[in-house]
Structure 1
């Protein structure tokens, strides 16, 4: 029996002490069980010394959430209740198999249901998040998410423990939330509302604060698109009030950014700028702790993009242009939709400063960014809004006519 060098190396890489690792693992356990974990310094010492080579399932899930890799990569053997390893080809074909049918079943019901199934279902959520990052919302993503929610709830009915059952409710909430988001991104807001109503119920049954945060975050976004700005503020405040938000600066930052947008849409300048300041302060305190994949999009680039929205709403186009430039400079290429949206907002800020030619050239870059994929409804809506703004500011101009022709030619 020797020291676990793999775990020690990961701790060094992440810059965490034994005490900090215990705290993060307990937080992770609370997120997926609804109850604070009982990982102690002694637990960590046993893991590092090699005394514990096959941790219990709960500990395995917590380790994988904190470090973002399998327990095998951390030098451990999986728990004895784990299902046989999933074939890599089967894993890669997840999306293909799911989107082919709304009734597709991509997680077989095993004889023993437990932590391994939780991990497999969460892996499916990660695949959907990656697909959304690349293409944006579309009907195949919606169907895959609904199939995932259905499969999860079917597993929940197979006599699982209370703890695992709550986890399944949380995962079903996340899948339903993905379906809602796909509809929101496509511009099908009424359908998105129906899915979100269901999401809130499932998240409440799960006792999973992260799932509840995700639901309120989406409700705030949907309310903004529906022009229900008081509701958007209330939803962001609900997200802000959750216990997990008070503990996690990253979530606190996102909730404050949503509040800032809501306040700006209500023309409450001071409240909007104050919330932006709080969002920046909280983000500066955020660490690299493991979190659900859906929030991977949020960081400095997204906060700058949301800042540009607030500044534009408050009549500060020069500041909005600067924020949009900064956002685009650091937004990863894989977030194509985010880059496209920031580009439209940059174009709008340029237009509001009187440079229609530059603004139209900037907006035209969206078609190159999204080349090879249908343009999601939310981006098309932003482009139409930009087109109307060009018409209002340069009526009868050649620039406006050429832009309108280009927009029509790139309908998809």
Structure 2
């Protein structure tokens, strides 16, 4: 067999080294089976040289999930089949999905494979059914919540549940199927929270919590409680937000992984700050920082990739500003922006909005309006999610309260109205 040119080209497109590809394959296998895979750099080298022309079923399914295409499109040939004379045409579905200017077109291009006949479901099917989640998470990081993302996530959940109903499976696989459906439903719920479609968010979260319970999946339960805390915050039910954060703290995943515990403490800190409970808010922030300091690099789901030191700085800015510590909020916002990875465009825009508010609350009109206006440039290639619109609305209201006649305020007002009419 000759070298696998298709696989090498696709690795180059994603800038994946052999070690990184092996890790991603093992990560997908671990999500499904609970055990980290055995793929190594040598395994990948055998694929690239053609020494292995048809990988093991679990590795094959994981490869398809990583690259969002079939094993044949990756240049692999089933045993007994002739090798194609030329590599298949380049598949650009994942890039199209993330970069398309039309979210609806991207959603319609997103395939979520599922068995359509009576079959026995196993690890490979779980990998295939999970394969769309990372793409959805990437779209959310880039653009934020919107209707097409919600629809695509619900379609994914439906496909998983159809497979679960129509196929036979072991009890363990069936629980994992419920967990995958919970993850897709959580994406839909989060999309509605970010878009401030609060009633639909509540409906999705109710379904997500039920599915997470059926899955007996503490990570999915944590994700639901985290979103419930954010929804309660948006609805102004601050005691409920604190209670949801405490429920997230009580899930077993927080005992296994301090990174999850850190996020739960940070979410509680925001709830306490909204109730003007300064000691409790600062105590929770301290616990969030302590937990983050104890966390170690390890396998975590793709949706959790947003959380780390940068996001904790961003959440600290929220807490500090609401406690009246605007100077410290400004410092935390600068730290968040300095550390945020480039793919988190929506989170960068939100952190920029928090920076503008902190500057405004210190009385710096010109600097704060310039900072706030940069959000429109950051989000120029897409619509502004509802949560970000609310943040900009808060800034606009506070600016008018402070000074509606200053030149900086008038200039901001013109830009604000112009951008609003476009979005």
Q: Same fold (TM over 0.5)?
A: yes
User: What is the rounded CA distance, in whole Å, between the counterparts of 1:355 and 1:322 in structure 2?
Assistant: 15
2: CA distance, partners of 1:232 / 1:108: 36
Partner residue, 2:121:
113
Shift of 1:243: 1.1
Alpha-carbon distance in 2 for matches of 1:81, 1:397? 63
Between 72-81 and 127-136, report the one with greater CA deviation. 72-81
Q: Distance in 2 between matches of 1:330 and 1:400?
A: 30
Mapped pair 1:62 → 2:64: no
**Alpha-carbon distance in 2 for matches of 1:282, 1:166:** 30
Q: Residue 53 of structure 1 aligns with which residue?
A: none
SS in 1 for 2:297: coil
Residue in 1 that maps onto 2:330: 321
After superposition, the Cα gap between the structure-2 partners of 1:231 and 1:71, relative to the gap in structure 1 and judged at 3 Å, is: farther
TM-score by length of 2: 0.79
Q: After the TM superposition, which residues 382-397 of structure 1 pair with which residues of structure 2 at under 5 Å, given as runs?
A: 382-397=391-406
Residue 172 of structure 1: how far off its partner (Å):
0.5
8 Å contact kept, 1:10–1:74: no
CA positional deviation for 1:402: 1.6
Inter-partner Cα distance in structure 2 for 1:332 and 1:82: 30
Q: Is the 8 A contact 2:146 2:385 kept in 1?
A: yes
CA separation in 2, counterparts of 1:271 and 1:74?
A: 53
CA shift at 1:120, angstroms? 1.8
The equivalent of 2:78 in structure 1 is none
Q: Secondary structure at the match of 1:63?
A: coil
Q: Give deviations 1:318-375, integer Å, cap 9, x for gaps.
A: 0000000110011111111111011111011011111111100010110111121111
**Which residue in 1 is equivalent to 2:270?**
261
Match of 2:170 in 1: 161
Deviation at 1:121, TM superposition (A): 2.2
Aligned mates of 1:389, 1:62 — CA distance in 2: 52
- Alignment of 1:85 with 2:93, yes or no, is no
In structure 2, how many angstroms separate the alpha carbons of the residues matched to 1:395 and 1:308?
A: 25
Aligned residues of 1:177 and 1:199 also touching (Cα < 8 A): yes
Q: How many angstroms does 1:105 deviate by? A: 6.2
2:114–2:128 contact (8 Å) kept in structure 1: no
1:202 matches 2:211 = yes
Distance 1:348 1:163 in 2: 49
Counterpart residue number, 1:36: none
Gaps (5+ residues) in structure 1? Answer: 1-8, 15-23, 33-57
Q: Distance in 1 between the 2:283 and 2:252 partners?
A: 22
Cα offset, 1:395, TM superposition: 2.9
Higher mean Cα deviation, 310-319 or 105-114?
Answer: 105-114
Q: Which residue of 2 aligns with 1:334?
A: 343
Task: Report the Cα offset of residue 287 of structure 1.
Answer: 1.4
* 1:126 corresponds to: 134
User: Matched residue of 1:410: which SS?
Assistant: helix
Taking a change above 3 Å as real, the CA distance of residues 395 and 122 of structure 1, as seen in their structure-2 partners, is same
Alignment root-mean-square deviation, CA: 2.9
TM-score, L = length of structure 1: 0.81
Deviation at 1:410, TM superposition (A): 0.9
Q: Deviations over 1:88-144 (max 9, x none)?
A: 53863895887229xx86213174421112112222101100011111111111110
For 1:97 and 1:170, how far apart are their aligned partners in 2?
Answer: 27
Structure 1 residue 164, shift from structure 2 partner = 0.7
Which residue matches 1:48? none
**Which of residues 134, 146, 162 is equivalent to 1:138?**
146
- Which is further off, 80-89 or 193-202? 80-89
**How far apart are the structure 1 equivalents of 2:240 and 2:186?**
18
Cα contact 1:72–1:78 (8 A) shared by 2: no
Shift of 1:401: 1.9
